[in-house]
Amino acid sequence: MSPEAIFFYLFAVMAVAFSLVTVLKRNPAVGAFSLVLVFFSFAGIYAILGAHLVAALQVVVYAGAIMVLLIFVIMLLNADSPSLDMDRTHWTLRALSLAGCATLFAFFVWAFQNGSLFPQPGQFPPQRVAELGGSTKLISYLMFTEYLYPFEVTSALILAGIVGSVTLAKRQKVKRGKA
Amino acid sequence: MISDWYVWISLLKALILIGLILQVVPGMLFIERRGSAWMQNRLGPNRLGPFGIFQGIADAVKLIFKEDFIPEHVHKLFFGLSPFVSMLPSLITFAVIPFAAPILINGETLTFQVADLDVGILFTLAIVSLGVYGVMMGGWASNSKYAMLGALRSSSQLISYELSMGLAVVSMLMVYSHITLTPMVEFQGQALFTIAGITVPKWGFLLQPVAFIIFFTCTYAETNRLPFDLPEGESEIIAGYHLEFGSMKFASYMLAEYSNMLTAAGLTVTLFFGGYQLLPGMSWLLHSLGLSGMTYEWVRVAFQATAFLIKVGFFMWTFVWIRWTLPRFRFDQVMDLGWKIMLPLALLNVFVTALLIAGGVY
């Protein structure tokens, strides 16, 4: 087995196993820590594919920033008690969710068997990327030339989201303070 | 497809590097204890071997043979996992730091770093941002108040200072206009100016003094070293996040702290002090040896590695020096410094750097 294959199976098994832990465990902190490992495994798979920048950003943004905040909140709230108790749900609901999962699984199997699993190479196949000086350079160049406008609009969108959430949080606090 | 040659060389380099990092830890512990004793007019450990240098080995043996006690109230899985989670990033980060300039053997380039990644410094920032999990996981899994307080302090401190550190690195990237570390070091080999026959190289701290101060401060906060050791703060929260850990688990946390220091020193040297560029006098010595061909190349590599290690050693000593010189901050002071001084200063520095580049100064 080539080293890529070994590492692919390692990261793939890790990703699937910890995704299951994330979904099945009731303790939110356990779920969050497992999710970090899932993101890390994804980053490993991206790195195997040669997309080092995507792998690094995956770790920086998802594993490094978003999950840290999430775990921070879980730890501050000390939300150890399970919030979604499966025992109390009606059996029809359980049957429905199981059926939904089975349908989705069947759909994925069908899609992977019949769909175009290996899509056509786009504008930048690996050779071209290497010629133009690596994916980091290329992505940065494109981001600041061709895609500058969408990039800036996205940042404005995120800023609007932050302002919105702060406003909502502040308003609740003021209401509670008055009452 | 990766060639077999590349895989074996990478494996060998990784093993050598990890061995080196693990060897540095007991040595550094000894230096820390003797150094602190020296500064405080004490003796320190001086019994075992000449000057007590075997104390590190004795400590390691003691920690290995201690009972691996797991308290009743902890989360078993994550309690066991957290020392390794905190050790792993600290061992990985050094992978991209070059020890010497690449050498050409029979048409194949041999680099003196484990992985010459396309993303370079971004890899380091990514892995450094994972370091917080070991502490968080340990503090949470311990399920005790002091450990939890330590973990919360640590995570808020690490998040706060990561931003300023990243921005300091951004301004360096703008100056070097490279993201990988070897070209950065090569850039620093150029001459800044020459006075009376002495050439001053373009080392990062001369080009970007503000970025250096920000980065240097942030490395102390990131490695939980004094004056930023609030997550441990033994006079306030006993030992913080690693309070419940004993024997080898505690030793793993220590190992993580010291290898983090090593990585921080390595990064500081690479970004701001010319990396493997030779120290004053060394290039004269290298040229006066009168070597040529492959012999010259290998001697050059040895010289560069020595220069790099001397610089890293200096910054490792600085960690000890500062630890036993400055008292600990209060927590609000840490947060104020991080968010109200460091972050605006780092942003301003990036802005000014951009203006200077646009004006053609760099």
Select from A42, A72, A138 the residue whose CB has the most chain B CBs within 10 Å, as the one to mutate to test that interface: A72
Identify which of B40-44, B225-229, B288-292 has the greatest average pLDDT: B40-44
pLDDT digits (tens, 9 = 90+) for B143-186: 888 888 888 888 888 888 888 888 898 888 888 888 888 888 88
Spatial distance between the Cα atoms of A17 and A38, rounded to a whole number of angstroms = 8
Q: B30-39 long-range CB contacts below 8 Å, 24 or more apart?
A: B30/B55, B30/B56, B31/B316, B31/B317, B31/B320, B32/B320, B32/B323, B35/B317, B35/B320, B35/B321, B35/B324, B36/B320, B36/B323, B36/B324, B39/B324, B39/B325
- The Cα–Cα gap between B248 and B242 comes to 12
* Model confidence band, residue B1 (pLDDT cutoffs 50, 70, 90): very low
| DSSP state letter for B110 | E
Q: State yes or no: pLDDT of B119 exceeds 80.
A: no
pTM of the model: 0.81
Nearest chain A Cα distance for residue B72, angstroms? 17
More confident: A26 or B209? B209
Query: Could you give the percent of chain B with pLDDT greater than 90?
Result: 4
Give the model's pLDDT for residue A153: 92
Query: Does A32 map to a domain?
Result: yes
State the nearest Cα–Cα gap between B256 and chain A, in angstroms. 18
* Cis peptide upstream of residue B227 (ω within 30 degrees of 0): yes
Q: Count of domains in chain A?
A: 1
- Average pLDDT taken over every residue of chain B: 82
The reply to whether A45 falls in a domain is: yes
Q: Do B159 and A59 touch (CB under 8 A)?
A: no
In chain B, residues with a C-beta closer than 8 Å to the C-beta of A64 are 126, 129-130, 162
Please state, in angstroms and rounded to a whole number, the distance separating the CA atoms of residues A157 and A145. 20
Across the interface, whether the CB atoms of B126 and A60 are under 8 A apart is answered: yes
Residue A40 lies in a domain: yes
Given A4, A64, A71, which is nearest B136 (Cβ)? Answer: A71
Q: What pLDDT score does A78 carry?
A: 62
Q: Residues of B with CB below 8 A from A76's CB?
A: 152
pLDDT along chain A (179 residues), means of 10: 83 91 80 86 86 84 80 69 58 87 90 70 72 77 86 90 83 58
pLDDT tens figures, B25-71: 888 888 888 888 888 888 878 777 787 778 778 888 888 888 887 88
pLDDT at B260: 87
* pLDDT of B100 strictly over 50: yes
Which one is predicted more confidently, B142 or B117? B142
pLDDT for position B344: 92
Cα A169 from Cα A158, distance rounded (Å)? 17
Q: Which helix (H) or strand (E) holds B104?
A: strand B103-105
pLDDT at B17 exceeding the cut of 60: yes
Does any domain span residue A90?
A: no
pLDDT at B239 over 80: no
Of the candidates B7, B129, B136, the beta carbon closest to that of A65 is on B129
- pLDDT exceeding 70 applies to what percent of chain B? 98
pLDDT > 90? residue B194: no
Beta-carbon separation of B136 and A57 below 8 A: no
Say whether B155 and A72 touch across the interface (CB within 8 A): yes
Q: How much is the average pLDDT of B81-100? A: 83
User: What pLDDT shows up at residue A103?
Assistant: 94
- Identify the residue with better confidence: A133 or B21: B21
Tell me which of A28-32, B318-322, B333-337 is least confident. Answer: A28-32
User: What residue numbers bound the domain in which A60 lies?
Assistant: 1-79
A-chain CB neighbours of B153 within 8 Å are none
Minimum Cα–Cα distance from A52: chain B residue: B119
Query: In the prediction, which pLDDT does A79 show?
Result: 55
CATH of the domain at A1: 1.20.120.1200
